[in-house]
Amino acid sequence: MPWDRNQMAARAAEELEDGMYVNLGIGIPTLVANYVGDKDITLQSENGMLGMGPFPYEGEEDPDLINAGKQTITELNRTAYFDSAMSFGMIRGGKIAAAILGAMEVAENGDLANWMIPGKLVKGMGGAMDLVAGVEKVVVVMDHTNKAGETKLLKACTLPLTGTGVVDRIITDLGVFDVVEGGLKIVETAPDVTEDEIRSKTEATIV
Amino acid sequence: MKKVYDTADEALDGLLHDGMLIAAGGFGLCGIPELLIDALVKSGVKDLTVASNNAGVDGFGLGKLLETKQIKKMMSSYVGENAEFMRQYLSGELELEFNPQGTLAERMRAGGAGIPGFYTKTGYGTQIGEGKEVKVFRGEHYILEEGIFADLSIVKAWKADDTGNLVFRKTARNFNPPAAMCGKVCVVEVEEIVPRGSLDPDTIHLPGIYVHRIIQGEHEKRIEQRTVRKREEA
């Protein structure tokens, strides 16, 4: 049985260790916050906040308090605010321990594509290029194949890159993979998913 | 040294010319200089290049300046929320220079700090790095990015004193300090101008040396994505 969205998020949460400062992307990565349990994790929002809290109760929304997805959020007793230059200073400077983000394609050398599809509407990279270039550990959470059933784990990305050689670990609905010398290494498989199935759905070299 | 003006129109008087480069603060619709944008629309100044992380939404924020076609070029990291923007961009009426968000913030900060260029890992090996100088430091590749030196900064803060010392509120700070720093002239709109001496000098986020003109006004502060959670039943 492949993992569903919540199971993928729960598995990604296992990557986080007590005391880490972490940046979560939009989509499944956002769900990771629901599975950190008792671990002391500080979430960074790149628009200028450390210590991001949950959504506000109805009627308590503050237009001056949003996350990088422009959603209204709340602060915690550990929260600190800062400007965008300092925010990306801590990102680029390697102070953020982990970033968990979605992707369109990942290559066996750790190249990542997640910001544009040529010929389609391009909205921009936002902070993704800075995050993958600066953060210590980059974890991609994505479906193993796209809607057409084609693999998203490739020998080389076909889409414009967000970063080169930046991905450390990939969590898909089929398993967990590390980017290592020579290709991807299977770290773990989802329940009842075989290595043969993974190989048949993966273009990247599995070592 | 009089920095306080009565209206946004007066605060921008004599500062505008066609083809100028404006740095604007704000992230999404949070902490945007809405009153100064309205005044720019009224002024009719055109062929603007605007460095701003986002481009507003249809009918609000920088979206208003796009509707009147006063903007020639945007320097932004994310522009997805604006249909008029996309229409003008796809038809070739509007130029767009994508900047990674942190690179844009640092380009503004650098411009304000007298740093004409800096090297960053961000964007190396991608389209963003194409045509830019590459240098290797400690075995890693970096690309050269240039500081932004704007003709005018338009910024939103929470409070100012009459000398221009600024305090921002929560995540509405975002791009406002770096945008303020990189302009030859910086005009700020605030929710409240307070008498000098009433801000704690240790809690000032941006010192008044960066601020030339200030107005106070009412802000709509529109929310882009209202998200809430249910209150647990008692």
B175 — contact with chain A (CB < 8 Å)?
Answer: yes
pLDDT tens sequence across B3-50? 999 999 999 999 999 999 999 999 999 999 999 999 999 999 999 999
Q: What is the mean pLDDT of chain A?
A: 96
- A118 Cβ contact partners less than 8 Å away, ≥ 6 residues apart: A159, A160
Whether A108 and A179 have beta carbons less than 8 Å apart is answered as yes
Domain contains A206: no
Tell me, yes or no, whether B223 lies in a domain: no
Read off the pLDDT band of A155 (50, 70, 90): very high
- The count of structural domains within chain B is 1
Question: For B159-218, what is each residue's pLDDT tens digit?
Answer: 999 999 999 999 999 999 999 999 999 999 999 999 999 999 999 999 999 999 999 999
Closest CA to B192 of B225, B227, B159: B159
Question: To the nearest whole angstrom, how far is the Cα of B195 from the nearest Cα of chain A?
Answer: 23
The CATH number that applies at residue A38 is: 3.40.1080.10
Q: How far is A58 from A73, CA to CA, in rounded Å?
A: 11
Instruction: Give the domain extent around A51.
Output: 5-200
Host domain of residue B34: 8-117+148-216
Q: What are the tens digits of pLDDT across the range A156-169?
A: 999 999 999 999 99
How many A/B residue pairs have CB atoms within 8 Å? 179
Kindly tell me if the per-residue pLDDT of B234 is higher than 60: no
Decide if A207 is inside a domain: no
Domain count, chain A: 1
Report pLDDT for B233.
Answer: 56
pLDDT at A27: 86
To probe the interface with A, which of B57, B60, B97, B101 has the most A CB atoms within 10 Å?
Answer: B101
pLDDT, tens only, B95-132 = 999 999 999 999 999 999 999 999 999 999 999 999 99
Who among A121, A127, A161 is closest to B77 (CB)?
A127
pLDDT tens, position by position, A46-94: 999 999 999 999 999 999 999 999 999 999 999 999 999 999 999 999 9
Task: Give per-residue pLDDT as tens, B48-73.
Answer: 999 999 999 999 999 999 999 999 99
CATH of the domain at B176: 3.40.1080.10
Q: Does B39 touch chain A (CB under 8 A)?
A: no
**ipTM score of complex:** 0.96
Q: Are B170 and A64 a contacting pair at CB < 8 A?
A: yes
Residues in chain B with CB shorter than 8 Å from the CB of A44 are none
Mean pLDDT of A108-113: 98
Please give the model's pTM, rounded to 2 decimal places.
0.96
Nearest Cα to Cα of residue B217 among B152, B166, B177, B158? B158
**How far is B42 from chain A, CA to nearest CA, in Å?**
26
Tell me the average pLDDT across A119-133: 92
A46 is catalytic: yes
